[in-house]
A and B are shown apart, each in its own frame.
Chain A
Amino acid sequence: MNTFIYGVLPYIALTIMVGGTIIRYAYGERGWTTKSSEFLSKQDLKWGSYLFHGGLFMAVGGHFVGILVPKFVTEAAGTGEHAYHMIALAGGIPAAILFLGGFLMLLKRRFAGSARMAANTSSIDKWLYLVLLLTIVSGTAATIQNIPGAFDYRETISPWFRSLLMLQPDVSLMDGVPKVFQFHMFLWMVLAITFPFTRLVHCLSLPFEYFFRRDIIYRKK
């Protein structure tokens, strides 16, 4: 079972995420949008959206460092295990509060807010909200549960994830990982599978090219 979940499923998930996104971009660009609902319900979007996206950027940054930067690198830079854990908590807990808080505000807005929001909520959106909720809650729960620092994910989860990227998955690293972390691992794979079918694709459209283009565009047929 562990072999499947930690050795096979990640590849299935990442393949669907990358392949599905490419296919959607090639054949379904017309439907590629942020799916903004600000037009239907504006006032209750402001704080929820800013908190959610702000927390999201912090969380993404934290995961990037925690997973992709090997332990010996930070230790060579003079950051011991305890110091690293404190820094991670100092960033992680505020990120979790913003991320989860913002998400709950958006959740309330979507399902207990204006009746007009139904026009912007499809069934895939409902699944997405469920998966996102579980992912964020499990991530927050894992962070809080591990405040004492008994479990070192940088000895287990991070090397496992890097082994995935090296195409040599080391499933044994995931033995004995606390349940809440395991649940969080399972959920990111579910999220990756859902990704190309949801509005989440808009994160790939952050308009950096806007800074480099001229103001008025003329286009030939």
Chain B
Amino acid sequence: MKIKAQISMVMNLDKCIGCHTCSITCKNVWTNREGAEYMYFNNVETKPGIGYPKRWEDQDKWQGGWELKNGKLRLRSGAKLTRMAKLFYHPNQPELDDYYEPWTYDYETLINSKRKNHQPIARPRSLITQQRMEIKWGPNWEDDLADGQSARQDVNLRNMGSDIALEFHDLFMKYLPRVCNHCLNPACVAACPSGAIYKREEDGVVLVSQDGCRGWRHCIPACPYKKVYFNWKTNKAEKCIFCFPRLENGLPTVCADTCVGRLRYMGVLLYDMDKVKEAAATPDKGQIYHSVLDIIMDPHDPEVLAAARKEGIPENWLKAAQDSPVYKLVKEWQVALPLHAEYRTLPMVWYVPPLSPITRRAEADVYLPEATDMRIPLAYLAELFGAGNTQVVARALQRLLDMRLVMRAQTTGDRLPARLEFDVETYQAMHRLMGIAKYKDRFRIPAGLQETSQEKLHELQGTCGYTCPGGC
């Protein structure tokens, strides 16, 4: 048993209203630079939809993530030797148009225009070529199913193998905020020919060394979530850094801190590093989730604590692991699930699946429906969060419903249903964490790894954050 600590995040999608505050605050801090204009370390997608970049979930196209070949785990993009031939031209690398062409507007014309009969307009201009351009796609073109056709091309619908009616009366949608998952078995790290991408020893944050990166671009197709980006100005790879300068100060990431729905949780998980590969190589993709739960260790277990101390994990980290809201949601209550576990990267950003309105056929006179009566088809949620396994999603949804039943009964005095899985105190704790969601309960991040002051964070704004202020 070799224990490692991982800073992990949970997003409670039941509360996401798709306001994009996370995307905007993140962008203003980290990617408001030339070469990075098109990047969103954090973006919010409307599902169903093809997302950002377009069709990122279509691994037949990108060859992202891992696969089992004769029972052995290997990168889906092929063996090392075959991938070396792709140094000169990578057939699976996304290009600018797979994201969108970034633009600005000619605002000056609004001020400088001569007196005319018609109001002057600010026309769009490409930030790449500096030429006039026509806007054909953007980072969130499908917001609230705005682009009706692209919703039907959602890769998850194809995988479901049954007809989903996107007719008006059965229409459904949900939001999916995405950051880098800081995986336990990151494909980008394994794919980097230069060895420039690494997991930080102390907190598991996945970073790209801007010195070590040579621009071979193999990380970008290898990441099945398409969360590594190519900076066309510096010609190096960049990705979400989990706001590590903030983490080191005990603060949550910018996206989590500014979330107006208060749906993001951050804390420490302890995991057994020796079993990571084994968990990622679970034969049945629907069981990968359970294998990951098995390697996330109980921070109250004396044996685990002893092993963690042997690895040099500091006491305040162990304390944080015991108080971790993420551990509660992921392991104790098991309401938070990994996104696309079938990519076998073991993502460390988790999602509480969303409840949704009741379908028309179940409408009758139920007040609280069963998980299967929800308007978002279970099979669809299972494609996203269960690797096709509807059971784990149904179980998580049922727990959310039970929590509501219990809390409702406290006010109305109704009798509690007989088949509750947890005791009432547990449901109350779930309600405190997920319903009330106080700031101090949502974030438990041990500080003090580095002597970095708050002022330094302000200095870092506008730089890419890999180095000292003013660097890059």
Among the 9-residue stretches B41-49, B199-207, B289-297, the one with 4 or more Cβ atoms under 8 Å from chain A is B199-207
Interface 0/1 of B159-189, CB less than 8 Å to A:
0000000000000000000000000011001
> Is the CB of A119 closer than 8 A to any CB of chain B?
yes
Q: Is A179 an interface residue (CB 8 A)?
A: no
- Asked if B472 is at the interface (CB within 8 A of a chain A CB), the reply is yes
Q: Which of B94, B185, B193, B211 has the most CB atoms of chain A within a 10 A radius of its CB?
A: B193
Residues 86-103 (chain B) with a chain A CB within 8 angstroms: 87-91, 93-96
User: Nearest residue in A to B73 (C-beta to C-beta)?
Assistant: A215
Residues of chain A contacted by B198 (CB below 8 angstroms): 217-219
**Chain B 220-262 interface 0/1 with A at a Cβ cutoff of 8 Å (1 = within):** 0000000000101111100000000000000000000000000
Q: Are A33 and B234 in contact (CB under 8 A)?
A: yes
Tell whether, in the assembled complex, residue B129 and residue A49 are in contact, meaning their CB atoms are under 8 Å apart: no
Interface residues of A in 189-221 (CB under 8 A from B): 202, 205-207, 209-211, 213, 215-221
Q: How many residue pairs between the two chains, A and B, have CB atoms under 8 Å in the bound complex?
A: 115
* Interface residue ranges of A34-90 to B (CB < 8 Å): 34-36, 38-42, 45-46, 49-50, 53
> How far is A17 from B93 in the complex, measured between Cα atoms in Å?
32
Interface presence of A32 (CB below 8 A): yes
Interface string of A11-35 (1 = CB under 8 A from B): 0000000000000000001111111
Q: B217 near A: Cβ within 8 Å? A: yes
**In the complex, are the beta carbons of B215 and A217 less than 8 A apart?**
no
B4: chain A residues within 8 A (beta carbon): 218
Contacts of A116 in B (CB 8 A): 96, 128-129
Q: Could you say which residues of chain B place their CB within 8 Å of the CB of A45?
A: 89
Instruction: Judge whether B129 and A30 touch: CB under 8 Å.
Output: no
The reply to whether the CB of A5 lies closer than 8 angstroms to some CB of chain B is: no
Question: For window 141-157 of chain A, which residues contact chain B by CB distance below 8 Å?
Answer: none
Cα–Cα, bound, A32→B196 (Å): 13
> Mask for A95-108, Cβ within 8 A of B = 1, else 0?
00000000000000
Q: Give chain B nearest CB distance to A118 CB in angstroms.
A: 7
Interface size class of A (residues with CB under 8 A): 35 or more
The DSSP consensus for interface residues of chain B is loop
Interface size on B, residues (CB 8 A): 46
Question: In the assembly, what is the distance between CA of A90 and CA of B84, in Å?
Answer: 27
Contact B195 A221 (CB under 8 A): no
C-alpha spacing A119/B235, complex, angstroms: 11
By the criterion CB–CB under 8 Å, are A39 and B88 in contact? no
B214 touches A202 (CB 8 A): yes
A35-B235, A46-B89, A215-B190 given as contacts; is B211 within 8 A of A115 (CB)? Answer: no
| In contact, B189 and A216 (Cβ under 8 angstroms) | yes
Residues from chain A with a CB closer than 8 A to the CB of B117 are none
Contact A38 B90 (CB under 8 A): yes
Interface membership of A120, Cβ < 8 A? yes
Asked if B200 and A219 make an inter-chain contact with CB atoms under 8 angstroms apart, the answer reads yes
Query: Are B200 and A221 touching (Cβ within 8 A)?
Result: yes
For residue B104, CB closer than 8 A to chain A, the reply is: no
Q: Are B89 and A38 in contact (CB under 8 A)?
A: yes
Closest to B209 in A: A219
Q: Of A39, A211, A217, which is in contact with the most chain B CB atoms at under 10 Å from its CB? A: A39
With A33-B235, A217-B189 in contact, do A39 and B129 touch (Cβ < 8 Å)? no
Q: B interface vs A, CB < 8 Å?
A: 4, 80, 84, 87-91, 93-96, 128-129, 131, 185-186, 189-190, 192-195, 197-202, 210-217, 230, 232-236, 276, 450, 472
A116-B129, A219-B198 known; 20 new pairs, CB 8 Å cut-off, are A29-B211, A30-B211, A33-B213, A33-B215, A33-B234, A34-B214, A35-B215, A36-B216, A38-B89, A41-B95, A119-B129, A202-B215, A207-B84, A207-B195, A207-B214, A210-B80, A210-B193, A217-B197, A218-B4, A221-B450
Give the interface of A toward B (CB within 8 A): 29-36, 38-42, 45-46, 49-50, 53, 115-116, 118-120, 202, 205-207, 209-211, 213, 215-221
Q: Which 8 A-B pairs have the closest CB atoms?
A: A207-B193, A33-B215, A215-B190, A219-B198, A217-B198, A34-B215, A33-B235, A42-B95
